[in-house]
Structure 1
């Protein structure tokens, strides 16, 4: 069902447009009524015969042309409006010639002003010049020899076109400002939608960091327990059940970090990494090299998430192995290196989703950094695994 006008969201610009349109229509109606009433009261002669009848007919025609102010611009083509206004010029000049008193000049002034506000410049000026010449000519013919002062009033009727053109320029500027405001509002809404989508993507990565590995490992252990129940091997059942409990505890720790990171705008990098290592059972495993500097909130979140993912992978694929994190600050970049040694406890094979590495690469790419992963082949950590993230300064 199509939305009604009242059902559509109305912004400030739309309210302004509707309000101005309503006020303009009311003011035009009041103007037409006031001019017609003043003409009825003041213009003479008016009657049912002779000159009075001619004045009445010309007055009616002038009022009809003046009523065009009430017609919306879109309802009349420029050509039709020009024809009507040209006819109105003749009627206005005729009324000035037939009427002897009152507001006979008002129609000519209002007509040229209206032409300036609705027609293009060339057509408006042509009608204004025609109106001035006709009205001035009529008054010149009627004037007594040597008394042509009123002719100047007839020639001045065309000057009102300048006021109409100025009003048209203001109206166009107002419409342009309203259109610009509406465009800006649409752009702001689009930007807000983009920000929401980006935030959803970030939250999806954070949720994956907590749930994907933990739930996959927990599911594997529970399936192993189900398989061992039939064998009656209580020792292996207890071992698998213990690993499941460990995974649950690890998941809770990871969930706490995720909620904390989502709530905070800017986490301290060193303190957060230290707490993360200690919660994983690796005390004193953080090394900071170089002059520490504050990173942006986005860069800090990225490094923390990569460290969190790397620690989760180390716990899963190299249980019991030592883990060390090094953060190096140089003039060109900030480097995060997470290394783990080989496992010292039995490793239970499990297929990963592959989303962890993808998530890390997506995070680092968003801030223009680079990520490398692979086995450690030299040094005391040989046989282990490392993850290195580089964020340019």
Structure 2
């Protein structure tokens, strides 16, 4: 629409503005008409390619040429150039320079008509020249509206980018959680099963079938425990609620540590995420105790405080030979990651005093 209006103003000027020729005043009118047309066509230049200083220079020259055309021409629509140029002044320039230049346009055009400068026609009221700068106000409003729309679009795009980044972070967090669960279920269970099968294989050479059956039974027990752990993992992925106290008791009994749990405080239901992570920490600690301190006494302390839930697992030194093997190193890292997600803290280290000296202890404190 702006392009059509610009061409219409130029066409109307060529059709109506007189005199128009190749000599004398007609030549001056023709030159000023070309300059005004070029200044008006410059509104199509993209703002990113035209600096404010260059725009101010070009529009100032256009204002001077428009006022001169009004004075030199004797008839026609020369004043339209001033009106349309003033509107573009408000749109292209910042508010303060736009108002100054628009006021200058009004004073020049009004002065040319009021003081009868030049040989131009005098039928046009001087007040018309004085209001040529008014369209700058509409240009300022349009510029403000356009900037508001661009700011809204930019804010929407920024929000969309933030949402995509948050979604990617959530996906990575969920992948890390699944990786920890897979490690807990597969690495621990398979390590225990492999240990019992290796023991059974070694016992075959001794001919002690009773101990072979015992190792085989333990392997079967570990398989059953693995199925339970897989069920816990499915519950975690579905965010189902598990009873913390009952699940922890069942875990200890299946691992051969009956009556190892001590509960302090009033037992209560805790969020599913807290339950799941505490169970995983207990599982990690019990697996490490079985691997690095076989035969050692194990004690588990579950404390329900007013503002936190604390799980402590302590094992004594090994009473049987420790099988050679190196852990993946992911266990303690997984514990810390789990507790950090719940804004808690975990400590792990050797027991340096008391009846369990030489053993290992883990304590996780989760607020809420």
Q: Does residue 369 of structure 1 match 2:336? A: no
Compute the displacement of 1:296 (Å): 4.2
Structure 2 residue runs without a partner (length 5+): none
Please give the residue correspondences for 1:33-44 in structure 2 after superposition, counting only pairs within 5 Å.
33-40=7-14, 43-44=16-17
Q: Does residue 136 of structure 1 match 2:110? A: yes
Q: Pick the aligned partner of 1:210 from 166, 185, 190.
A: 185
Deviations along 1:298-335, whole A, 9 cap, x unmatched?
43332121122233345556778886644322224322
Q: What is the aligned-residue RMSD (CA, Å)?
A: 4.0
Match of 2:138 in 1: 163
Structure 1 residue runs without a partner (length 5+): 1-26
Change (3 A) 1:89 1:384: closer
Deviations along 1:89-144, whole A, 9 cap, x unmatched?
1221133234455533221122122122222445434432332222112211349x
Match of 1:116 in 2: 90
- Give the total of aligned pairs: 361
CA contact (8 A) 2:18 2:76 kept: no
Compute the displacement of 1:70 (Å): 0.8
Change (3 A) 1:222 1:285: closer
TM-score using structure 2 length:
0.77
SS in 2 for 1:171: helix
Q: Does residue 335 of structure 1 match 2:277? A: no
Compute the displacement of 1:80 (Å): 3.1
Q: Pick the aligned partner of 1:299 from 270, 274, 278.
A: 274
In 2: Cα distance, 1:383 partner to 1:94 partner: 101
Match of 1:191 in 2: 166
In 1: Cα distance, 2:292 partner to 2:349 partner: 14
Which region of structure 1 is more displaced relative to structure 2, 314-323 or 101-110?
A: 314-323
Compute the displacement of 1:237 (Å): 6.1
CA contact (8 A) 2:317 2:359 kept: yes
TM-score using structure 1 length:
0.73
In 2: Cα distance, 1:275 partner to 1:228 partner: 30
Compute the displacement of 1:68 (Å): 0.9
In 1: Cα distance, 2:208 partner to 2:338 partner: 44
Compute the displacement of 1:382 (Å): 9.7
Match of 2:71 in 1: 97
Deviations along 1:212-261, whole A, 9 cap, x unmatched?
233334444555666677x5847376665555444433333322222222
In 1: Cα distance, 2:157 partner to 2:135 partner: 33
Match of 1:355 in 2: 330
Match of 1:22 in 2: none
Change (3 A) 1:343 1:249: farther
Please give the residue correspondences for 1:1-393 in structure 2 after superposition, counting only pairs within 5 Å.
27-40=1-14, 43-45=16-18, 47-48=20-21, 54-142=28-116, 150-221=125-196, 231=205, 233=207, 235=209, 242-264=217-239, 266-277=241-252, 280=255, 288-316=263-291, 325-338=300-313, 349-353=323-327, 354-366=329-341, 367-372=343-348, 387-393=362-368
Deviations along 1:327-378, whole A, 9 cap, x unmatched?
322224322234668989x666243414323432443344232335555976
